[in-house]
Structure 1
Amino acid sequence: MQMTDRACDRRILVINPNSNDAVTRGLDAALAPLVRPGIAIDCRTLAEGPFGIQSQADVEQVALPLRDLVRRESADAYVIACYSDPGLHVCREATDRPVLGIAECGILTALARADRFGVIAVASRSIPRHLRALRQMGVSERLAGERALEMTVAETASGKDTLARMIAVGRDLRDRDGAGVIVMGCAGMAVHRRGLEQELGTPVIDPTQAAVAMAIGIVAVA
Structure 2
Amino acid sequence: MARRPRILVINPNSNEAVTEGLRQAVKPLTYADGPEIVCETLAEGPFGVETQEHVESVTLPLRRKVESTNDADAFIIACYSDPGLFVAREGTSRPVFGIAECGVLTALSRADRFGVIAIKSRSIPRHIRYLRQMGLMERLAGERPLEMSVAETASGDGTLARMITVGRELKDLDGAGAIVMGCAGMARHRKPLEDALGIPVIDPTQAAVTMAIGTLAVG
Same fold flag (TM > 0.5): yes
Secondary structure in structure 2 of the residue aligned to 1:154: helix
Give the drift of 1:8. 5.1
Residue correspondences, number: 217
Give the 5 Å matches for 1:105-144: 105-144=102-141
**What is the deviation of 1:7?**
7.0
Alignment of 1:14 onto 2:9: yes
Moved over 4 A (4+): none
Query: Can you give the 5+ residue segments of structure 2 that lack an aligned partner in the other structure?
Result: none
Letter in 1 for 2:73: D
Name the SS of the counterpart of 2:48 in structure 1.
coil
- Aligned AA for 2:55? V
Query: What is the aligned counterpart of 1:149 among 146, 150, 158?
Result: 146
Secondary structure class of the residue paired with 2:100: helix
Identity %: 71
SS at match of 1:51: coil
SS at match of 1:79: strand
Q: If the length of structure 2 is used for normalisation, what is the TM-score?
A: 0.97
Question: How many angstroms apart in 1 are the aligned matches of 2:205 and 2:102?
Answer: 8
Q: Which stretch shifts more, 209-218 or 7-16? A: 7-16
Question: How is 1:80-95 mapped onto 2 (pairs within 5 angstroms)?
Answer: 80-95=77-92
Q: Give the structure 2 partner of residue 3 of structure 1.
A: none
Deviation at 1:50, TM superposition (A): 0.2
- Secondary structure of the 2:210 match is helix
Alignment partner of 1:50 is 2:20? no
Normalization by structure 1: what TM-score?
Answer: 0.96
RMSD of equivalent CA atoms: 1.0
Give the drift of 1:38: 3.6
Q: Output the amino acid matched with 1:25.
A: E
Alignment of 1:21-32 (within 5 A): 21-32=16-27
Q: Which amino acid aligns with 2:45?
A: G
- 2:75 aligns to what SS in structure 1? strand
TM-superposed CA distance for 1:9, in Å, is 1.5
Following the alignment from structure 2 to structure 1, what is the Cα–Cα distance between the partners of residues 4 and 87?
26
CA displacement 1:180-211 (0-9 Å, x = unmatched): 00000000000000010011111100000000
Name stretches of at least 5 consecutive residues in structure 1 with no aligned partner. 1-5
Q: C-alpha displacement at 1:140, in angstroms?
A: 0.5
Quote the Cα distance in structure 1 between the aligned partners of 2:179 and 2:205: 14
Instruction: Give the Cα–Cα distance (whole angstroms) in 2 for the partners of residues 7 and 121 of structure 1.
Output: 42
Matches within 5 A, 1:190-205: 190-205=187-202
